[in-house]
């Protein structure tokens, strides 16, 4: 009996699984990365090396048909064996809140829901017998509900992974009094809590999400799946008939997702990708995976592996990659162990990596204090697990003789080697906010012992949805020299010409990733870099940087109408097209952009084959029958419009063509009020004009209102008064 992680290690070392006749994968519904890898590798072994290898996948809530299709291998699904086991009946009690509660967002859970959960627990204690197991998303919610159960006639015990081992053991042992065990999903299938006959389920889960853009992780609260709540309810029927109180309605239950999202869809895939590369299947090519890894997450993982030297350009594992895999921790931590041992010593490197890799709760966000606490052995259970991991990692680390460094410096080097992108410097003017080398801001918790540290090596940070900066969960205070040693690959000096504060700025910059350490102005920046910075500035601030004279605005409107009506070769002149097409290579700063001849730049976009037709296709003005030259309105490029008095277009049978379409006429009364709008002048004379004539000839008797305007003479004058 081994974990799936150990099975993956054995498969990598001995793909034939010598001496093994069958592999049983239990709890397949949990869809951890190691579970998916173990299944895919076993299927590959059976297909290529061991056709006699027998595979069995088991779960109470598995997607049986998908697994059967995958395990069948030859197009015929594998047989599905179902059994009801020895579970007792569990009655479902729908217990939704009486008032509306907000859905979870990020880590936030509506306090009204937690109050309702506590009330439901009291109800269950009164209505049922036996101990009560309560499912909540995290330790914070467990603490809140525990407080609201003060005075209950039962022992209220928390159960989550951050508790000391002794406290967890207490929750797993039956007592003399009734117990209310407040648990996370840890108790869903991993642990059995004896004596439980009642489950109260808040219906929420807390799951990790990888922030690919910032290289951070975060936790979010989501509605639990139907598979998960089925597992939870089953805990009430292990020892006898029981009941589950669900804090939602039956209708809401039907809308829950059928299964939890697989870890491959949301997690950091760096270790997953390295296992695939070590198997000889970069990216999972050729393997029967239950779900295809998301391309973006896989790309980020592969880039990380290349930066560690773990894979070559074709994605295959290198000798360095195989050495990292053999350590048995995340590749970043493996790199910190192998490269950190010569710098800080084998033992201390193993101790820090064990602290980062073990499932231990930190006493505070001060990693150094947590390290010292484990050395002191104040939490015997945690210390024992940590020391076991230290011994294992020390065996995997290279022999090394290192200078004696202060503990915080040693921890900072190891953390920085694991996460160089999280090396952080304090921002000017503040004591609690930092800029990390990756470019993301970070803030400390109020009152932390790390306050005021000029530099941090951040081990754990997460960013809640909607927040700009990350929250530092574990870090160690370091100095600049330590940061530069740990982040050597990101320590660069180069000329940078950028658009900054509204103009071009050139400097010789020394930086650690996004952290600027020093800069000196450049006397003669590279002209190509200047041109690129000017183009960036125009994209950032928009075309308003140019001098849009009335003539330039008019020409742009006319070209837009030509493109809208006739298409190519008339150029598009929307913002995106102009930003890509206008030549600003001669400009060196903001002032040069302001001096640019926009009219000339627009005319340069018009192909020579049609340039001579511009004033014919989209004239600025048009002459009407009276000889007046009236400006065309191109505000809407799809419908160029001419506003003209009705009497001035008498004699026109059709509106003239502009940009390949009849010009829209906005026909005005003698008082310049719009009486009709049309692009079909011939139709208007027949159907619309009679009504206009009937309404207006009495109001404007001195103006002509002929019965047949199509053949009448145009005029812009009224008859003299008599």
**DSSP string of 552-575, one letter each residue:** HHHHHHHHHHHHHHH-TTSPP-SH
With 90 as the cut, is the pLDDT of residue 717 above it?
no
pLDDT in tens, 496-508: 999 999 999 999 9
* pLDDT band at residue 164 using 50, 70 and 90 as cut-offs: low
Residue 161 is predicted with a pLDDT of 65
Residue 363 is predicted with a pLDDT of 61
CATH no., domain 95-258 = 3.40.50.300
* pLDDT band at residue 347 using 50, 70 and 90 as cut-offs: very high
* pLDDT band at residue 374 using 50, 70 and 90 as cut-offs: confident
Between 215 and 394, whose confidence is greater?
A: 394
Q: Are 462 and 216 in contact (CB under 8 A)?
A: yes
Q: Side-chain half-sphere of 600: how many Cα atoms within 13 Å?
A: 5
The closest alpha carbon to 589, from 502, 509, 522, belongs to 502
With 60 as the cut, is the pLDDT of residue 362 above it?
no
> How far lies 12's CA from each of 5, 42, 45, 348, 624, in Å?
11, 11, 11, 29, 86
The 10 Å Cβ neighbour count of residue 391 is 12
Residue 444 is predicted with a pLDDT of 92
Sign of CA dihedral 658, 664, 670, 672: negative
* pLDDT band at residue 139 using 50, 70 and 90 as cut-offs: confident
CA distance 715 to 645: 9
| Cis upstream peptide for 569 (omega within 30°) | yes
The 10 Å Cβ neighbour count of residue 301 is 27
Sign of CA dihedral 101, 103, 106, 109: positive
Residue 430 is predicted with a pLDDT of 66
CA distance 379 to 386: 10
Most confident listed range (25-29, 401-405, 538-542): 538-542
CA distance 294 to 266: 8
With 90 as the cut, is the pLDDT of residue 82 above it?
no
Least confident of 159-163, 229-233, 344-348, 608-612: 159-163
With 90 as the cut, is the pLDDT of residue 63 above it?
no
Quick one: three-class SS letters along 177-238? CCEEEEECCHHHHCCCCCCEEEEEECCEEEEEEEECCCCEEEEEEEECCHHHHHHHHHHHHC
Between 431 and 268, whose confidence is greater?
A: 268
pLDDT in tens, 418-456: 999 999 999 987 667 999 999 999 999 888 999 999 999
* pLDDT band at residue 189 using 50, 70 and 90 as cut-offs: low
Mean pLDDT, rounded, for 137-159: 90
Predicted model pTM: 0.75
Q: Are 677 and 649 in contact (CB under 8 A)?
A: no
Q: Are 48 and 16 in contact (CB under 8 A)?
A: no
Residue 91 is predicted with a pLDDT of 94
Q: Are 355 and 474 in contact (CB under 8 A)?
A: no
With 70 as the cut, is the pLDDT of residue 722 above it?
no
pLDDT in tens, 275-322: 999 999 999 999 999 899 999 999 999 999 999 999 999 999 999 999
Average pLDDT, the chain: 90
Strand partners, 580: none
Mean pLDDT, rounded, for 585-596: 92
The SS3 of residue 73 is coil
**Residue position matching structure tokens 């009849």:** 662
The SS3 of residue 34 is helix
With 80 as the cut, is the pLDDT of residue 198 above it?
yes
CA distance 47 to 721: 105
DSSP percent split of the chain into helix, strand, coil, nearest 5: 40, 20, 40
Residue 379 is predicted with a pLDDT of 62
Domain boundaries, the chain: 4-84+265-325, 95-258, 329-486, 543-610, 619-711
Mean pLDDT, rounded, for 510-526: 93
> 251: which residues sit within 8 A by CB, 6+ positions away?
none
With 70 as the cut, is the pLDDT of residue 53 above it?
yes
Residue 177 is predicted with a pLDDT of 85
Between 381 and 535, whose confidence is greater?
A: 535
Residue 576 is predicted with a pLDDT of 94
Mean pLDDT, rounded, for 392-412: 90
Between 658 and 83, whose confidence is greater?
A: 658
H runs (alpha helix) in 248-311 = 250-254, 270-279, 295-307
């Amino acid at each position: 009996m081994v974990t799936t992680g150990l099975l993956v290690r054995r498969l990598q070392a001995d793909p034939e699984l010598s001496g093994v006749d069958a592999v049983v994968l239990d709890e397949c519904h949990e869809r951890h990365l190691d579970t998916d890898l173990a299944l895919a590798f076993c299927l590959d072994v059976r297909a290529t090396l061991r056709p006699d290898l027998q595979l069995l996948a088991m779960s109470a809530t598995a997607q049986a048909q998908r697994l059967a299709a995958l395990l069948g291998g030859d197009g015929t699904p594998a047989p599905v064996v179902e059994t009801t086991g020895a579970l007792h009946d569990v009655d479902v009690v729908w217990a939704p809140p009486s008032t509306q509660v907000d859905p979870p967002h990020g880590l936030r859970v509506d306090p009204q829901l937690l109050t309702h959960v506590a009330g439901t627990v009291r109800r269950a204690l009164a209505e049922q017998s036996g101990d009560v197991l309560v499912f909540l998303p995290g330790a914070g919610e467990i603490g809140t509900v525990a407080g609201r159960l003060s005075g209950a006639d039962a022992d209220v015990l928390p159960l989550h992974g951050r508790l000391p081992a002794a406290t967890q053991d207490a929750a797993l042992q039956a007592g003399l009094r009734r117990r209310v065990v407040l648990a996370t999903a840890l108790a869903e299938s991993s642990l059995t809590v004896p004596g439980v006959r009642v489950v109260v389920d808040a219906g929420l889960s807390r799951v990790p999400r990888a922030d690919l853009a910032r290289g951070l992780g975060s936790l979010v609260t989501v509605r639990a799946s139907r598979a998960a709540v089925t597992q939870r309810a089953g805990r009430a029927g292990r020892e006898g008939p029981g009941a589950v109180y669900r804090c939602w309605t039956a209708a809401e239950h039907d809308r829950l997702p059928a299964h939890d999202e697989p870890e491959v869809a949301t997690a950091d895939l760096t270790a997953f990708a390295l296992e695939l590369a070590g198997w000889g299947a970069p990216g999972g090519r050729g393997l029967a995976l239950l779900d295809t890894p998301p391309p973006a997450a896989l790309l980020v993982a592969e880039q990380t592996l290349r930066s560690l030297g773990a894979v070559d350009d074709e994605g295959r594992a290198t000798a360095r990659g195989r050495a990292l895999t053999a350590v048995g921790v995340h590749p970043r931590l493996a790199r910190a162990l192998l490269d950190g041992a010569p710098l800080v010593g084998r033992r201390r490197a193993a101790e820090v990596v064990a602290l980062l890799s073990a499932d231990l709760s930190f006493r505070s966000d001060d990693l150094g204090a947590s390290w010292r606490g484990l050395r002191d052995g104040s939490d015997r259970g945690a210390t024992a697990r940590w020391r076991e991991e230290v011994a294992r990692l020390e065996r995997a680390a290279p022999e090394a003789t290192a200078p004696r460094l202060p503990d915080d410096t040693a921890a900072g080097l190891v953390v920085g080697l694991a996460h160089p992108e999280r090396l952080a410097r304090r921002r000017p003017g503040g004591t609690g906010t930092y800029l990390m080398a990756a470019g993301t801001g970070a803030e400390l918790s109020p009152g932390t012992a790390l306050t005021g540290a000029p530099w941090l090596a951040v081990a754990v940070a997460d960013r809640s949805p909607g927040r700009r900066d990350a929250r530092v969960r574990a870090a160690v205070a370091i100095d600049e020299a330590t940061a530069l040693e740990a982040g050597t690959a990101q320590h660069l000096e180069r000329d940078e010409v950028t658009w900054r504060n509204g103009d071009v700025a050139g400097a010789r910059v020394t930086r650690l990733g996004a952290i600027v350490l020093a800069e000196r102005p450049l006397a003669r920046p590279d002209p190509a870099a200047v041109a690129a910075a000017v183009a960036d500035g125009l994209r950032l601030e928009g075309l308003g940087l140019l001098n849009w004279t009335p003539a330039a605005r008019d020409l742009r409107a006319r070209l837009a109408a030509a493109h809208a009506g006739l298409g190519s070769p008339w150029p598009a002149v929307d913002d995106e097209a102009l930003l890509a097409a206008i030549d600003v290579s001669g400009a060196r700063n903001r002032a040069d952009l302001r001096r640019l001849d926009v009219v000339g730049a627009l005319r340069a976009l018009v192909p020579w084959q049609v340039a001579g037709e511009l004033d014919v296709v989209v004239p600025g003005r048009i002459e009407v029958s009276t000889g007046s030259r009236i400006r065309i309105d191109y505000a809407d490029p799809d419908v160029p419009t001419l506003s003209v008095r009705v009497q001035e277009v008498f004699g026109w049978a059709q509106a003239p063509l502009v940009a390949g379409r009849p010009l829209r006429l906005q026909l005005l009364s003698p008082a310049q009020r719009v009486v009709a709008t049309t692009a079909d002048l011939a139709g208007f004379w027949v159907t619309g004009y009679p009504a206009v004539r009937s309404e207006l000839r009495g109001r404007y008797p001195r103006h002509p209102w002929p019965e047949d305007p199509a053949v009448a003479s145009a005029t812009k004058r009224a008859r003299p008064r008599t």
